Structure 1
Amino acid sequence: MGSVNIARERPAKRTRAGVRRQVMDLFLLARPAHWAKSVLVVPIALVDLAVWSWPALARVAWSIAAFILAAAVIYLVNDLVDQRLDRLHPGKRRRPIAAGRLSVTAVTLYGAVLIGGLILLLTYAPHGSSWPVLGYLGLNVAYSAGLKRLPLIDMGVVSSGFALRVVQGYLATGAALPGWLLIAVFSGSLLLILGKRRYELVEVGVEHRPSLRGYSVEFLNQLLLLAGVVCLAATSAYLATEAPIAPHRQEALLISLPFVLYALSRYLQVVLVLKGGGDPVRLLLRDRALIASFGIWLCAIGALVLVTRIPSISPILLP
């Protein structure tokens, strides 16, 4: 009798394990590790403490949620469209759809839930502040439909997604959008994408991404240098002219320049010397050198912000 019960329990356990696995696979389709793109980029507008208010914070939270959901829908569409090509990539072939772990019915239902949630969220969008999300969706639909096969255009489209996140953040707070900051974010995103394309070209080959046939390692090396220079120049211009820390912009530039140079150099070292860069999000969140330099820079800039907002402590921090 005991053996019969054990025999019944085993299929039940396998069923529960299978359900848990499917739920986890559906969750992974939304790329939770990539939510950092919206969590870090959209709230850039909050650097200006003058725009802080409960309504502004609520609109920023809405913007983050909208971009996370929009990106999840795009990831699901791309995984469906690219599943054959993903099987040729050593990392992407483990994705749930490419690996064949999810049924078409499960993916379709999950996609319907994501789209429904996004439509509901857009229905309650703050007045006039949802066009960057809609632009992001339209741009990425065009990307999946064919732009991803066009060299240079493919990287420009992906970088534009980050720029639209910044625009969304500034619309949410009602602050004026700094042009130099937008250029810095676009060129910095392009730098990360160039590193990823170079890694794929060297380590994986062109079979899984047709646009790679329009690149060479030497060409990408030149583009990495160009994007790095533009990013450095735009960041410097933003700090010197538009950063909300007047009258200490000159000090902000002098403090930040070594850290920006180090971050760019460290990234190029990872890509060109250590042969990394295949997963930019993982690199930015786990590279100890980059995290440490960012933390030190943040503390220094935070001190300048305090000086700007609380003039009485200026003689202490800036003797």
Structure 2
Amino acid sequence: MKDMQSTGKVKALFLLMRPSQWVKNIILFLPLFFAQEIGALDRLQNVALLFAGFCMLTSGVYVFNDLMDAAEDRLHPAKRFRPIAARKVSPVEAVGFMLLLYGISAVCFNFIHTSSNLIWLLAGGYILLNLAYTLYLKQVQIIDVMIVACGFIIRLEAGATAGDIELSHWLIIMTFILSLFLAFAKRRDDLLNFMETGQVSRKNITGYTIDYLNVVLSFLSSIIAVTYILYTLSPEVTARSSEYLYVTIPFVLAGIMRYLQIILVEKSNCNPTDILLQDRTLQLTVAGWFVVFALLIY
């Protein structure tokens, strides 16, 4: 019986970390990839340690978020199964586990070979930003998605610092706009849940409408497409990598159109992470873009 309880507790703690969300931290490798330095083993090792550290760091942030939102999560059809909301992990256990995750992330950061202290500042800034987000800023419409997008820019800057890469303004712009797009898509998912169940899983969700979010998503998807096209045709980019980057444009357009088809036509779950992990067409589109892009620049 004790063994079964221990196994259940370990499983609950593992789920509390939200390992499916670690895929977002792949963005840490983008500076190396786009700078054509992915084969530099010393830099790759640094970013790999950063990835491990950020997975623990972001998991710690998720624990704090779940701890603060436990009461609201119990009203959500899916979130009510989260370990803290389901009372499988007590608040005291959650706090201790969160501190442990932060400690492990600090150990990973400590082994990164860089003369800059920027990684520590970025990690601390990420925690503070998400504390402010969880405690108040997520209740403010539009500002909440801006905060989410800033979190991805922090990751991007950390990856560039660990890999000793000068960050391109193109990469920053595209990452920020894409992050906004995905964050607004998540808000649309929350709003649909509210309309179907009447349960408010996010206090500021009533400040949005489906029509407004559809317009925003269409607007941002257009900006993403135009920005990527300009990026592939930019003289500074083509001179550094390949003049044939424009052949990857169809993959980006197909990915955007497929995502919009999923949420607007099929009216499926809008959670970006879930869609990427479940939709085979989108997976093939992303994989195709990666393969062709990598062949062109490497």
1:104 offset after TM fit, Å? 2.9
Normalising by structure 1, report the TM-score.
0.85
Normalising by structure 2, report the TM-score.
0.90
Report % sequence identity: 31
Q: What are the residue-to-residue correspondences of 1:131-150 with 2, within 5 Å?
A: 131-150=121-140
Question: Are 2:231 and 2:237, in contact at CA under 8 Å, matched by a contact in 1?
Answer: no
Could you list the runs of 5+ residues in structure 1 that have no partner in the other structure?
1-13, 307-319
1:243 offset after TM fit, Å? 7.6
Of 100, 111, 114, the residue aligned with 2:101 is: 114
Counterpart CA distance in 1 for 2:279 and 2:129 is 31
- Residue equivalent to 1:312: none
Question: Are 1:51 and 1:175, in contact at CA under 8 Å, matched by a contact in 2?
Answer: no
Counterpart CA distance in 2 for 1:152 and 1:247 is 36
Of 6, 9, 14, the residue aligned with 1:22 is: 9
Counterpart CA distance in 1 for 2:235 and 2:138 is 34
> Which has more radius of gyration?
1
1:218 offset after TM fit, Å? 0.9
Q: Which moved more, 1:73-82 or 1:130-139?
A: 130-139
- Residue equivalent to 2:27: 41
Corresponding position: 1:127 with 2:119:
no
Corresponding position: 1:290 with 2:278:
no
- Residue equivalent to 1:96: 83
- Residue equivalent to 1:263: 255
Amino acid aligned to 1:69 = M
2:94 partner SS: helix
1:294 offset after TM fit, Å? 2.1
Counterpart CA distance in 2 for 1:299 and 1:120 is 34
2:44 partner SS: helix
1:171 offset after TM fit, Å? 1.4
Counterpart CA distance in 2 for 1:95 and 1:202 is 20
Question: Are 1:63 and 1:172, in contact at CA under 8 Å, matched by a contact in 2?
Answer: yes
1:295 offset after TM fit, Å? 2.3
1:122 offset after TM fit, Å? 4.1
1:81 offset after TM fit, Å? 0.3
1:75 offset after TM fit, Å? 0.3
Question: Are 1:184 and 1:232, in contact at CA under 8 Å, matched by a contact in 2?
Answer: no
Counterpart CA distance in 2 for 1:53 and 1:214 is 47
Deviation by residue 1:108-127 (Cα, 9 ceiling, x = unmatched)? 32123112223334445533
- Residue equivalent to 1:81: 68
Deviation by residue 1:51-80 (Cα, 9 ceiling, x = unmatched)? 642321121112212211110111000000
What is the count of residue pairs matched by the alignment?
A: 291
Of 66, 69, 82, the residue aligned with 2:56 is: 69
1:163 offset after TM fit, Å? 1.6
CA shift in 2, pair 1:186/1:247, >3 Å = closer
- Residue equivalent to 2:221: 228
1:219 offset after TM fit, Å? 0.8
Q: Which moved more, 1:22-31 or 1:295-304?
A: 295-304
Counterpart CA distance in 1 for 2:186 and 2:147 is 15
- Residue equivalent to 2:46: 59
Counterpart CA distance in 2 for 1:277 and 1:94 is 17
Could you list the runs of 5+ residues in structure 2 that have no partner in the other structure?
none
